[in-house]
Amino acid sequence: MKILVGYDGSEPARRALDVAKEHARAFKAEKVYVVACLEGFPQDQVKHMAETEKLLAEAKAALEKEGLPVETQMLTKSLSAGEGLVDFAKENKVNEVIIGVVRTSKVGKLIFGSTAQFVILNAPCPVQTVK
């Protein structure tokens, strides 16, 4: 089993990482992918790369401490985080996606979009959301 965790260091993402640990142990996961997506134009992404690398290193250390097989990835080529996660899941034949969600209003989703909604509707595998 391959598990993908969409990770941005937020509290919901940390809880998603905890769920991924449980699932990885329970299902004897072959790999846990911890994936962060940087959105926007390349010049905007550069500002956040060092911080994102640090967050991914912390997540990797937490999973390795548990003896779980982990790989981290920072995606910079996609238009949105949702597209990046879905493409990664397809390319790596992921069996489950786990993402943290934040409650937003309908107007907020309309204006800003929803990464979780995009992943839920387009992922090639089951998606578990964590509040």
pLDDT band at 50 (very low <50, low <70, confident <90, very high): confident
Q: How many domains does the chain have?
A: 1
Domain range enclosing 82:
2-130
Distance of CA 7 to the CA centre of its chain: 4
pTM above 0.85, yes or no: yes
Strands (E), the chain: 2-6, 31-37, 70-75, 96-100, 127-130
| Domain harbouring 30, CATH code | 3.40.50.620
pLDDT of residue 104: 65
| pLDDT of 106 higher than 50 | yes
37 versus 17: the higher-pLDDT residue is 17
Closest Cα to residue 87, out of 47, 118, 58? 118
